[in-house]
A and B are shown apart, each in its own frame.
Chain A
Amino acid sequence: MRNGFVTGPLLGALWLVVIATTVAVTMSFATGAAFRPQVLFSVIWGAVAGLIYVRFPVRHATARLGVALFLGLSCLTGIGPVLIGSGTTLLALLITVGSIALVMHLSMAEILKELPFGELTRHEYEDAVIRFCTGFGYIFFTAIVVIPFYVMVMTSLKSQQALLQNPLDFSLDLSQGTALFRSYTELFRDFNFGTYLWTSFYVSVLTVFITLLFSVPGAYAVARFRFKGQKAFSRSILLIYMVPMIVLALPIYIAFSLTGLRNSILGIVMIYPVTTIPVALYMLQGYFRGLPTEVEEAGLMDGLSRISVIWKITLPLSLPALASVSLYVFMIAWNEFLLAFMLLDDPSKFTLTRGVTMLNSSEIPRQHLMAGAVIATVPIMALFLGLERFMTKGLTAGSVKG
């Protein structure tokens, strides 16, 4: 097993299957034409390639280039790693051939780097396997994350007929110009999505403010003061976090129905912060604990009251944590679905998530639903990418201290 001439072909065979599948799936999604990975041929040619890459250790040896080129060109015949159906454009053909050859050459050279032909040490063998797994991991994770979002965006730009005709064809007809975005214009014009966007936005912002208003003093008390029941309290915060929303939603639904708060934004704004306060409290108390007490004590010695210590010393010091918590709470409120779904029936008061649910009916074309999904996703994604550092920190602190 631990010989270059065994490991090389083995990894080569597996790797070509991965590459062939990746290229075929990518090309299918990009053009809609028929690309099919051929597992058997991939295994055979991959093994051959692996053997050659191990046998000729020079980085750009002629034999290496030759076999890579052969792998690419063999796709044009029926026995290559990828079977290309008829009716494919020349450009797509060239891209397939080129990418198979190029990707295979570069990645094989990387995976089988410094792998001798003969017996391998344990290190050499495991390093090669790890490089293979790393390559596979990147492709796999990127694919599973990107494909759904790609499909979401592209479907929102297509028409129902085009979608039914060939569900794989995501190529865009750019000649339509702005008509490409007709799902979006229809959503904003006929389905009130502008209002929903605004409702979602101010409900989320209000939730953030109310949550901070309640959780900052609470978190400070739990973090700084010693009092009876402090331990039990900081534990029960987590406990509350574990009550399922649907269990709470049922009595809340009844109570809101009886008091007339159902179907009102006021009710939503009352209920959202309570679902986020425990999380915020938990995150903030962890952060407050980490702040040096000396600074605060100095403030106390200088005659500040506790409240002004919090306001003038602790809060300015914890701005990054506040940003993380705010973002996290904003995300929860923006993405919240269950309560909005149960408590809002009146289309003029919908939040964005509730509005998108409304689009999930057989009478409304699919691309509208996907356009709605894009509208709901884009703001939170933009926020997330722009403030990724805070967000990641918030997410990490949001659950358990790691």
Chain B
Amino acid sequence: MEYLLDGWGITLATFSPLVGVAIMLLIPREREDQHRMVALVTSLWVAFVGLLLLFWFDLDATGRLQYVVDEMWIDVIRSRYMVGIDGMSLPLILLTMLIVPLCIIYSWDHFPEPRNPKAFLILILILETGMIGTFVAQDMVLFFVFFEIVLLPMFFMIAVWGGPNRRYASLKFFLFTLFGSALMLVSFLALFFLTGAESFVFAEIADNVLSHGVSRTAQLWIFGGMFLGFGIKVPMFPFHTWLPDAHTEAPTVGSVILAAVLLKLGTYGFIRVAIPILPEAAVEWAPWIGLLAVVGIIYGALGCLAQTDMKRLIAFSSVAHMGFVMLAIATLTDFGINAAIMGMVAHGLITGMLFFLAGSIKERYHTLEISRLGGLLVQAPRMGWIFGICAMASLGLPGLAGFWGEFPAILSAYSPANGLPVETFRTFMVIAALGTVLAAGYLLWLLQRVAFGSPPDEFAENPDIVDVTRHEWLAWAPILAFIVAIGIYPNLVFRVTDGAVDASLNTCLKVNVVELSAAEIEALGCADVYDIGGGDEHAAVGG
């Protein structure tokens, strides 16, 4: 078993959805039941493989890539099929494998117009391949291909099953992210040529960056390209405007996948690719990333307060929440990046859940206009409760998952990595803490308007408004369970990520420049990271 997993486990998990797609292509469109079954079985099978991978995953060596497969893929451009899982990717892979079957269950008997379950489910499965693939890829070209595979199904999902303004939203989503991807590709190619690497494998490129002395300017530019590519995906302020439109127009399941997993491709790119490979540029860029992150936190929160549409509000809250994640990443400390991964998982679960709820509310009330809603707790008490729990989780209440993404992120900003401006980051910390107040503001305000009070007259006698249905329970219960479980015992995530984050960070980011002399830093090969000229006597940088 272990042997099989070692050789085939990841490949199986990544491409099984495509097998499901192939089967579904053979089934005529009218047989909706069969399509649903095939899609569900496929996604459950993928989740099962994921569990096997988790079971045999060596938790004492999370920093080591496991189940590695390394084969030549496209010889002519020296791209390799190299995949592997470590503690940084495992939580996100499992998150993907959890969300996809739940989305299929949720849409079981209410596909958005114009229905066509066959096409809809095929797109979801293709998405799954793309998402898992991105998280397991260890080669730049492979990573890029998976990163892009994700785009098309989501584009079609919004463009075909979306709301009234779907054409504009889908095209904006597609072009915006594609623009970022193009710059990211530029960076990847530049890295490959400048380092003279033998392949596109991350580890090799990272080693070569250090040994081949890629000039500082080049590194900064290359990092900039990646920053745009990943930052748009996150999305960071000011590249976020595609997100509210995409979310507002996307069908429920599309929003859920978008929020739960797709946004994480961006943040994951930072911690998997950009920072480990270009630590020197990361140190230069970090204060600016931190700045944009805290601007995003406050700005996103203010955007939320101005919304009149529930779904758009939740979308804007993603900007704020991903701001916390990016702030944690910008500290470049292992503590911060752990917090960031926790933040990604928590945001995936909580915001995914909020979008599910928004979808279900829309289905019952046929509107998401906040001013028209009210009294959800009276008409659908269980749903109101779930909404309350999710709002609390989203505002970072301890005991629920959101807190462990938010508080450690703020904490980590107090003490950023060596070489980063401490005072600046402490200011960021205070601003981020202010963001938690605003988050409580918009979420509780939303909760009050939607759940409390008495139902408005237009919906008071509406028989459509029923409490949580069986399919909804099936789809939501696992998410809620994880929100609570991680909230009570955060080590479920931290245990996995901690070692891997530590291993991923360049040693130079972890040395204490304050305590070491210039010569010692030079000996460690970290002089460049802190921009210390060779032979310079004083080592004082940042500190």
Is chain B found bound to chain A in the same assembly?
Answer: no
